[in-house]
A and B are shown apart, each in its own frame.
Chain A
C-alpha cells in the first residue's frame, strides 16, 4: 500500500509547505464549524425545551416554597369554581421532579445531570375547558401573586409560542450566517489548494507525462483539503467541549429548568455532523481547485 503512503505523505507535505496559509484556512474552517455546532446545539436545545413545555399543562401557578397546604387547597377550590376551568391538579415538588426525570428518560437527546437538589416548585396545574378563556383566567390568577401562596403564573401556550418564534428566527438567521461562512471557508480552501497545486505544477506535469491518472494527481490535494477540514473540525470540537459547560449553565439559568444536558447520542451526532461537513468542504474545495488546474 505504498500508493496510499504516497498520497498521504504528499498531502501532509503540501500542508506544511505553506503553513501560514494552511493554518489560516484551518482557522477559518474551524470558525465556520463552530458556528455550525452552536447552531445545531441551540436548535436542538430549543426543540427539547419546547417538547418539555408542550407536555405540560396549559396554565401553571407556581407556589411559594413556604406556602401553607391549607391555603393551597383553599385556592384550588376557588379556581375549580370557575366554570372555564375543567380541572386543577396539585403537583408537589417531589412529583414535579419525578415527572421531569420521567420526561428526560424518554428523550434520548437530553439527560438530567444533577438531581441532588430540587429547584422545582410545587404548582397548581390548571386545565381549561376552553382555550380562549386563557387570557382572562390568567389575568385573574395573576392577582394572587404576592399574597403568600402564588409566586408566578405561567401561561404555557404563550411560552411555547415564544420559544417557537425564537427557534424560527434562529433557524433563518443561523442558516444565513452559516451559508455565508460556508462560502468563505470554501473560497479559502480553494485558494489554499490552488497555491499548493501551483507549487507542485512541475511535478504534476511530469506525473501526467509518465502516465499518472487524473485521480492519482488529484488525490493528494483532495486529502490535503480534507486534512485542513479535519483539523478545523478538531479545533471546533475542542472548543465546543470546553465551552459546553459554561454555555449550558448560562442557558439553564436563562430557561430556569433543571440543569439539562444533551445526551451522548446527540453529542456524537454533533461531532459526526461537524466532521462530515468539514471533510465535505475540504475535499470539495480541493476538488474544485484541482479540476480547474487539470482542465488547463
Chain B
C-alpha cells in the first residue's frame, strides 16, 4: 500500500533495480526510473545496454535480482503468480522479433490476444477491426505474416499489442529493420497512439527519430541510466 500512496501519476516505477542473468551477465544496474501516465519515453542505448531486459521486467517475463518494480500501482515483483495475466493485459508489448504466428492471418494474430484472454468472438472481431484500422492494415487482414512487408509485420504486432486497449504500449526496437520512410510511418503511428492517451515506452537505436521528436530520453549504458532528459537528444 505504501507503494500506492504518494505515487501520484506514475504508471511505471523502478526502484534501484538490478538484473543479473543466471549466466552472470549484469543486464541492469541500480536503475531508478519513473514514467508518468501519458508520457512518451524513448529508451536508448547501444546493443546490449539492457533495453529489452528492462522491458521484460515490466511484464514479469523476468524478475529483477534486486529492487522493486511497480506498474499501474501494482508491485510486479511481489504479485501473485495468478495476477500476472491481468498485468500483461494492461501492458501491450511489441516485441523486437514481432512474435507473430506464421499460420494465422493478420486478423487472427491480432484477435488471438483477445480470444485467449477470455473475450467473445464477437468482441474479438470488433476490436480487431478497430485496431487494424488504427494501424492502417484493414486491407491486409487476410494475409499471412510471410506475405507482409517488414513495416506491415510491425503494424500487425502493434495492432495486437493495442487490441486489448492497454494503458501502456511498449515497443522494443520497432524500427529495427525498416527503411527510413517506413520507420517514420511507424513512429507517426506510435505518436498518434500516445496522443489518444496510451503511455508509450519505445526502445530504439534510431538517433534521427529520437532527435527529431524531442521527447523524454532515458539513456542506458551497460545496464545503468546515464542520462534522463525531458526533451532529450540521442547523444552517442
Interface residues of A (CB under 8 A from B): 1-3, 5-6, 202-203, 205-213, 216
Contact = CB atoms under 8 A, between A and B. Distances in A.
B85 A213 contact: yes
Interface string B99-138: 1010000000000110111111110100000000000000
Given A209-B59, A209-B61, A2 B115 contact: yes
B120 A2 contact: yes
Contacts of A206: 99, 101, 112
Contact of B160 (A2, A5, A210, A212): A210
B154 interface: no
Contacts of A208: 85, 88
B121 A2 contact: yes
B27 interface: no
Contacts of B88: 208-211
Interface of B: 59, 61, 82, 84-89, 93, 95, 99, 101, 112-113, 115-122, 124, 160, 164
A202 B101 CA distance: 7
A210 B101 contact: no
Contacts of A205: 99
Given A203-B101, A205-B99, A206-B101, A211 B121 contact: no
A295 to B, nearest CB: 11
Contacts of B120: 1-3
Given A206-B99, A206-B101, A206-B112, A2 B89 contact: no
Closest 6 A/B residue pairs (Cβ): A2-B121, A211-B88, A211-B89, A212-B116, A210-B113, A211-B85
Contacts of B115: 2-3, 6
A212 B117 contact: yes
A210 B124 contact: no
Contacts of B164: 210-211
A216 B116 contact: yes
B59 A6 contact: no
Most buried by B among A203, A210, A213, A216: A210
Nearest to B104: A203
A113 B171 CA distance: 75
Nearest to B124: A2
B112 A210 contact: yes
Contacts of A203: 101
A202 B98 CA distance: 12
B121 A5 contact: yes
A13 to B, nearest CB: 10
A212 B93 CA distance: 14
Contacts of A211: 84-89, 113, 117, 164
Given A203-B101, A208-B85, A211-B117, 6 more contacts: A2-B121, A3-B115, A206-B112, A209-B88, A210-B160, A211-B87
B58 to A, nearest CB: 12
Contacts of B61: 209
28 contacts: A1-B120, A2-B115, A2-B121, A2-B122, A3-B115, A3-B120, A5-B121, A206-B99, A206-B112, A207-B112, A208-B88, A209-B59, A209-B88, A209-B93, A209-B95, A209-B99, A210-B89, A210-B113, A210-B116, A210-B160, A211-B85, A211-B87, A211-B89, A211-B164, A212-B85, A212-B117, A213-B118, A216-B116
